[in-house]
Amino acid sequence: MAPSHALKCCHRALNWVPVLFINLVVGWSYYAYVVELCVYTITNNAERISYLIIFHIFFAMFIWSYWKTIGSRPAGPSKAFSLPRAEKELYEREERAETQHEILKKVARNLPVYTFTAGKAVRYCNHCQIIKPDRCHHCSTCEMCVLKMDHHCPWVNNCVGFSNYKYFVLFLAYASLYCVVICSTVIQYFIKFWTKQLPDTSAKFHILFLFFVAALFLICNLSLLSYHMWLVGNNRTTIEAFRAPVFTNGPDKKGFSLGFSRNAAEVFGDQAKYWMIPVFSSQGDGHSFGTRLVHIDPKQANSVPQQNGKSPADGKADPCVLGNNIQHTADDSKEETDGGRTVSVTMESEP
């Protein structure tokens, strides 16, 4: 037990190495820009002050969003998705997969679960012993099921999912802008040092290297940011981009797409003043999501407790639960009954 515990502690410590590396690079870039460039190289006070003001604005937003991504604990499913005690005992005693599936199917009827495994079985996590909500996946590194899991990112040593996906996208955006500011203001001094228009000083190495590093990180960040903005626009996670979620009528990568504006609002919120600030403004509770294929019954969604353990009362729908469950209308629609529950399936083209 002791060696196993020691290995686990060493593994957790090693997971922080990429984060430490990023912080060392950022710390050095701050020194190189502020001290070596602005203090020792730039002689014009107006230019120096304007550079420092612009630099610190983007530096602050970059660090803020980066540490919000790191520090936001991944959101896990509520207790409503755990098997009741009686069903759990039956499930654990049962050896036949078909009977186990029937037990899970019976419990899932009371939950807003509309996606399944490739074999059309209820998605169940044996590690966490819960029925997985839609878009939820188990992370072996975090050792938990994560709501709307996108991926586990080693550069933030955290799972990127419902609780911090907005912070992650803003981190990529502000990291790119941070690099743009550095490249655009350093380039003239980079050229002067390179062509020997300025004397060789201790600042030369820092400024030359700073431009190369900022340009390299800019290319990497822009490619990653472009990909995640495409995911946001199509309302997909990285996992769903590679493996389509399976609905009653089969796999559909566009199943959660509600049109660009609604897709973006699901991540950034519906109030523009919060879009570019690293504060939580995403819609919903992470357990149920709007879809162009399924309209979730409000009574069923109301039965699912929130993360804080509270449930809507008096039969009124909680906007946090139903904020994403937008009912769509079309000329051609039909009703399907799946194991005792009715879902409205809308036949429509992608908005």
Instruction: Tell me the catalytic residues.
Output: 153
Spatial separation of the C-alpha atoms in residues 234 and 260, rounded to whole Å = 7
